[in-house]
């Protein structure tokens, strides 16, 4: 049996759980995951059974009934200030200001996803549909947030029209332990998957999702949802650019979207 059949590498565990390397060390120190060094290896590995059990525990926790205080919903315009506050506390800067976000939100308000715990915003993910011809200049940094012209550059969802998405922001409550943050993010991803499924049912054709990040948490999150480094643009310092190809990816979010799109296609073909 190959070691890859029995063990995960540290990087694989980080991707599967959506955590950073320091967070993985904490889980080992807390004896929630075991790090072992098999014969013939110098670096530690993690038993797949341990990691899969740990991951499944949180999936089961999501399905439990005792979660009335946690809610998922699409953000409203009046929620953008608290989103900006979460950004500031989670990553040390407000990112895109609430003022700019509000002009984008007015053009397409269907893809800013929020998770609340006892009415407090604890996680969010915003997927912005951006015009295809400015996506690469935007990723390279040649176009700044302030250069985006909402009426021209923010795309509205239309049936059968291909669209590319950009992850404008993702953050979770920093003042909780790693397990609680992981739980918030799992709720966020589950809700996001359901909303993408709804977009598929409407006949929205998503082709690719792009992102960029230079923080360990942001990079881990991109890997967790199945994104790959965008090879045409090499890393710039700590900045990493990512892409999720809907056609080839088998990530959870893509599977949910494709389920909805398949339903739309089936109805469309029946009515043709």
Rounded distance between C-alpha atoms, residue 211 and residue 61, angstroms: 29
What are the two backbone dihedrals, phi and then psi, of residue 34, each rounded to the nearest 5 degrees? -105, 135
- DSSP 3-state of 198: helix
For 155-169, what is the mean pLDDT? Answer: 94
Neighbours of 198 (CB within 10 A): 14
Residue 12's pLDDT is what? 86
> What secondary structure letter does DSSP report for 70?
E
Beta bridge partners of 130: 154, 164
- The full set of domain ranges for the chain reads 3-63, 70-271
In the numeric block, which tokens belong to residue 7? Answer: 């063990």
Fold of 70-271: Aminopeptidase (3.40.630)
- CATH topology for 3-63 is Multidrug-efflux Transporter Regulator; Chain: A; Domain 2 (1.10.1660)
d(CA 223, CA 244): 10
pLDDT tens digit sequence for 182-214: 888 888 988 999 999 999 999 999 999 999 988
* Same fold? 3-63, 70-271: no
Q: Is the pLDDT of residue 1 over 50?
A: no
- Given a cut of 90, is residue 25 above it in pLDDT? no
Q: Quote the percentage of the chain above a pLDDT of 70.
A: 92
pLDDT, tens digit (0-9, with 9 covering 90-100), for 109-157: 999 999 999 889 999 999 999 999 999 999 998 998 889 999 999 999 9
In the predicted structure, residue 240 carries a pLDDT above the cut 80: yes
Among 94, 92, 93, 81, smallest CA distance to 121 is for 81
Query: Residue 142: its pLDDT value, please?
Result: 92
Could you tell me the pTM of the whole model? 0.76
The conformational region for residue 118 under phi > 0 = left, psi -120 to 50 = alpha, else beta, is: left
Tell me which residue has tokens 């923010």.
154
């Amino acid at each position: 049996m190959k070691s890859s059949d029995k063990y995960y590498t540290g990087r694989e565990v980080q991707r599967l759980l959506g955590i950073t390397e320091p967070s993985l060390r904490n889980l080992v120190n807390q004896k929630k995951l075991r790090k072992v060094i098999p014969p013939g290896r110098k670096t530690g590995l993690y038993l797949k059974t341990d990691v899969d059990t740990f991951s499944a525990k949180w999936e089961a926790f999501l399905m439990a009934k005792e979660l009335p205080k946690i809610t998922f919903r699409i953000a409203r315009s009046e929620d953008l200030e608290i989103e900006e506050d979460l950004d500031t506390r989670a990553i040390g800067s407000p990112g895109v200001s609430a003022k700019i976000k509000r002009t984008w939100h007015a053009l397409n308000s269907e893809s800013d996803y929020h998770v609340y715990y006892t009415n407090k915003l604890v996680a969010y993910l915003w997927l912005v549909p951006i015009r295809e011809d400015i996506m690469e200049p935007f990723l390279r940094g040649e176009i700044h947030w302030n250069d985006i012209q909402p009426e021209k550059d923010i795309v509205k969802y239309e049936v059968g029209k291909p669209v590319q998405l950009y992850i404008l922001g993702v953050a979770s409550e920093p003042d909780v332990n790693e397990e609680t943050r992981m739980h918030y993010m799992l709720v966020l991803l589950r809700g996001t998957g359901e909303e993408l499924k709804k977009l598929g049912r409407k006949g929205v054709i998503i082709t690719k999702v792009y992102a960029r990040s230079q923080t360990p948490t942001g990079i881990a999150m991109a890997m967790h949802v199945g994104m790959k480094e965008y090879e045409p643009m090499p890393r710039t310092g700590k900045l990493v650019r990512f892409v999720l190809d809907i056609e080839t990816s088998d990530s959870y979010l893509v599977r949910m979207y494709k389920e909805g799109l398949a339903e739309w296609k089936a109805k469309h073909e029946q009515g043709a």
